[in-house]
Each structure stands twice: as C-alpha cells, then as structure tokens.
Amino acid sequence: MPRIAVLPSAVADQIAAGEVVERPASAVKELVENALDAGATSVEVEVEEGGRVLLRVSDDGSGMDREDAQLALARHATSKIRAAQDLVGVPSYGFRGEALPAICSVSRLTLLTAVDDGEGTDVRAAGGHVESVAPAARRRGTSVEVRDLFYNVPARRKFLRSSRSEWRAIADTLVTLSLTRPEVRLRVRSDGREALVLAPAASLRARVAAVWGHDYAGRFVEVDGVHGAIHVTGLAERPGDVGVASRRVIVMVNGRAVRDIGIARAVESAYRSTLPSGVRPSFIVSITVPADVVDVNVHPAKAEVRFHDRWGTERAVEHIVQRALGTPDAAAWVGARTWSPGAGLSPSPGGAMDTLPPPAVAPAAGGLFAEAGDGEGRVPSANAEGSHGEVAMAPAPVTRAEIVVPLLMQLRRTYMMYEHDDGVVLIDQHSAHERVLYERFLGALARGEASSQRLLFPVTVHLAPDDAEAFEGSADLLARLGYEIEAFGGHTLIVHAVPAPHARFDAIQCLRDSLAALSGGREASAHARHERLAATVACKAAVKAGDVLAPGEMRALFVALARSTLPAHDVHGRATIVRVGWDELERRFGRR
C-alpha cells in the first residue's frame, strides 16, 4: 500500500485556511483587501461577537459576473496574475487565489456581487462546497458574508480568544488598512453599534486625526524624501512627545502594510541621540520602491516582504526620517500644535534681525562663538599659549545658503528667546550648545579634524585604575577631539593640549568625566563608542545654565544650531527648542 497520497480537496482547503485565516481579523483583512483591489471607494464592515458569529464586508468596487463569482470560490483562482512572471512586482493586495476559498472552507459563506446596478449573483457555500447560485438584486459592488467561522474545525474554534479580544484585533486590522488608503471611506459596525466611521481623507495626517484625534495627529512631523529609487513618506513622532501616549508602529511597502523589524529599527535609528535610552517612538512610514526590487510573495498572508537590497533600503529610511526630525517642525510645542512646518529656527519676517552671509572661513580652534568678521566671538583662554592675544572662533562651514538671525534676548541666563509668526520660541542654551558640539565632536572622531590649544604649563592628571584602563583604549579618540596627552607611567597622564570650545570650558574635568563614562560600558561597535564619547564631551563642554551670553555669542549659537542635523533635541532626549503658540498665549490671557 503506498504511503504517499494526494490530500482530499477539503483537507487541502483547511490547511490553506490555517495559513491564511488565523482568526476573524485575518478574514477581515483578506476581504477588505479584495474590496480595495476591486477599486472600492467605500467599504462597510459588520461584525458580531468578535467575528465568531458574523463577518460582512461590502464594497462599491467593480463587482463580478456570474461566472467569475463561482470561480472566485475555487482554489488558486485569481484575477491578479496569469503567469509566474506576474508575481514579480504584483501591485495588488491579494494575488494568490487562496483567501476566499480558504475562508469558505471553514465557514458558511454568502457572496453577493454585481457588475452594474440591478441584477447580480448570489452564491451560497458551506465548508468549501457551493450549495446554490441564483440571481439577486444589488448595486454595483460585492458583499461577502461569513457566518460561523471555524464551525467545522472545532479545534481551531476552541483556540479563538474572547469576543472582545477578537474584536480588538479586527479593529486594529481595519485601522491599519484605513491608513494605507486614506482616500477610501470606511464604516464599521460591531454588535449593532457604530464603531468606526471614517470619511475620505485628503492626507495621512487627516486620517490619523480621524482615527485617534487631532491632538494625537499633531504629535508627528511629516516625512517625505527620496533616496535613489526609494521614496519614503509618512509621519514620525516628535522626539519631545515620545513616551507620552501608547506606541504605534505601522510600516507600509508599496501600499501594503507589513511586519518588518529591519525597517522599524531603521526608523528608530534616525532618533539616535534625540531620545533617552529605552524610549521608542511611534511612526507610520510608507516606502515606495521599484516593483522588481521587492519580493511580496514570501508569506501566505502577505504580511512580510523581502528586499533585494535590504541594507540600502534601511539606510535610506533612516536618513530620510532623520532629515524630517531635523526640521524646525520637530521642536516641542506648548499648547496646541500646528500641522504646517513653521516656527523654529526661523524668525518672523517683520521682526528685527540680522542676516548672516555664508562665512568664507573654516572652523578655527573650538569653532562656536563667533560670527564671521564681527570679532564678537573671540574668547580668550586663560591657560592658552600666547594668552595675551585671542583665538578667532568661526562657525562650522555653511550647509544652508543663508541663515536669518532674529532679535534674540537671554532669559534667566539660561534661555534665548525670540518672536515668530506662530508664537514665541525659546532655546535652551546648554541643550543647544550640547547638540552643536555633539555633532561637531562626532565628526571629529570620524575624520580626526579637531583643533586644539596648547597649554602654557602641562597639567598632571592622576587616574583611578578603571579610568586609566579606559584611557589606554581611547587615547586615539581623545587625540581626535583635540587632546594631546602623554602617559607618564602608572595611572598618571600629562596633558599638553586640549580642545577649547569656549573660555568657560573645563578641559581637565571633561577629560576625567569622559574616561569615567568610557570605563562604564562596552559598546558593540566603534560608532557606538564614538557616540558615547562625543555625547559625554559635548555635555561637559557646553555652556551651562547661568552663563551670560553676549549678543554675538547668542547669534553664533543660533546659527550653529540651525546648521546642525537634529537641532530640536539634545543628546539626552531633552528639548532644545520649545515653541509657545499665539493661540496658547491668548487662551492663557483670556483672549480666546
């Protein structure tokens, strides 16, 4: 007797159902995606007892004639592909020809469809077997009614969760689908009550506002950028708002919602040096790539994809999201938020301001507190060689054509403030300087271009054993930052030169703190070690709250912050820029 046998079709269908229809939410996903593939502009979903008793999906799509309606319940029957090569770059949500027959095999299913208003087709089936086909009246479109899901597979039905849990999964699935197609109207009823009504939305942000509210939608910055052939759009949570509400992560590839840990990590990497450790942002990103560089045929439920160049795709996503977080709109808000980019490191057109042309000088020692040619940023170093003179400090090379500097004032010797069209903008001088120095030091660690000042008298530094060990492994990195240090035997160092970002900088204490920080961790990569050192030195080197800044120093700090990659947050995740909108101020003063 042969040991290998061809499975009966009923068994094969139930195996397919196990792959495609894990729970009621899986069936809803497949049916709604079919509706979207059919060109629907409006989709209605009805659920009873979490989908255990009833699932009904109705649409105004293209519909089917009688012949197609019957074929739709046959396994591997599909309108999406005709040959194997069609699987490359298939643009539709569904294409396998398995979902509808798989659902039918484990339920009592009714398919009502029409190509035009008037006469349509009513197909009734149970357990995978068609019981009747009859004419029926219906407007153009399709309705699929699924009753008693898993009625003939008691083992599967036993593993369903409570009606409430299954409904939550359905709701999450529908919300995700609604974000992939904001222009489609969606109406959902659960156990006879209206659960979700979403009108067509003009943008992803508008759809997010309809689902979770305007305040939540205002927490995000727009993402829209192109890197080679990769286009990334969507919304990324402002760093200052991360951790305040529930985390939501949605990734779409060529319009299809997928699970992709690599892409999610790439987005999170864009937040590096803007969030405290362990805090993770919410985001909705949509990635569009050429159809022939992504394989969507790797998962029965089309929940995963495979990129031909995964590393390049992830790097592109990281860079595009990081650029979005570097815009003024990423700054923290007090009060209601606007949805349009605006208030940030840019002044109101009518206010008093200075326009700084691009300087023609390269960074000199330290390189922060100066404006090209005005001489106000020259600061002395008490222990610098030739201290009777001054060292010129120029900003980093310009990355933007022109930066307009508003009229700045210092508050409590801690904050810089100026007026903008959208409200009042405050900048924390320590956080701002820390961000500027962090990016500068990180560049110096990568390129080894930092300058330094020689000390008139070398300084002897005695270290603890752990710190001395940290120095042995980091001497080259400290040299790149501008330190010139000689090991003097045992745990003793002789310091001959130091970086000099400004006159208040305590280079020796910064050295001690940096070595202590390096001795406390074992980073997995050289870049992580660079980040840790750059963050420590930047924090210790930045001006502090309570330091008085001259007008020229404030202007130079403003310009340097505007040129930084991520100006809105320091390296610890604290806000650098806070905006108070006019609406909020008027509300506080009772004018609204």
pLDDT for 108 equals: 97
Together in a domain, 236 and 295: yes
Q: Residue 354 belongs to what H/E stretch?
A: strand 353-356
pLDDT, residue 44, reads 98
Asked if residue 403 belongs to a domain, the reply is yes
Question: Is 233 found in the same domain as 127?
Answer: no
Residue 339 lies in a domain: no
CATH assignment of the domain containing 51: 3.30.565.10
Q: Are residues 155 and 258 in the same domain?
A: no
Share of the chain above pLDDT 70, in %: 80
Which of 25, 22, 9 is CA-nearest to residue 73? 9
Q: Tell whether 118 is covered by a domain.
A: yes
- Residue 477 CB burial class (10 angstroms; 0-12, 13-18, ≥19): buried
444 and 568 in a single domain? The answer is yes
Query: What pLDDT is recorded for position 7?
Result: 57
Average pLDDT over residues 6-33: 76
Task: Let me know if residue 411 belongs to a domain.
Answer: yes
Mean of the per-residue pLDDT values for the chain? Answer: 83
Instruction: Give the integer Cα–Cα distance in Å for 88 and 415.
Output: 56
525 pLDDT above the threshold of 80: no
pLDDT at 433 over 90: yes
Contacts of 232 (CB under 8 A, 6+ apart): 223, 224, 225, 226, 285, 286, 287, 288, 316, 317, 320, 321
pLDDT at 349: 43
pLDDT, residue 376, reads 35
Work out how many domains the chain is built from and give that number.
3
Residue 505 has pLDDT above 90, yes or no: no
- Domain shared by 230 and 191, yes or no: no
Per-residue pLDDT at 14 exceeds 70: no
Quick check: is 3 in a domain? Answer: no
| 225 and 134 part of one domain | no
Q: Which residue has the higher pLDDT, 453 or 360?
A: 453
Which residues, in sequence order, are CB contacts of 117 under 8 Å at separation 6+? Answer: 139, 140
Q: What is the span of the domain harbouring residue 386?
A: 353-582
**pLDDT per residue over 183-193, tens digit each?**
999 999 999 99
**Are 313 and 177 members of one domain?**
no
Q: What is the pLDDT of residue 377?
A: 33
Position 521 scores a pLDDT of 61
Rounded to an integer, what distance in angstroms lies between the CA atom of residue 81 and that of residue 444? 54
Please indicate, yes or no, whether residues 432 and 531 belong to a single structural domain of this protein.
yes
Q: Over the stretch 181-223, which tens digit does the pLDDT of each residue have? A: 999 999 999 999 999 999 999 999 999 999 999 989 999 999 9
CATH number, domain at 303?
3.30.230.10
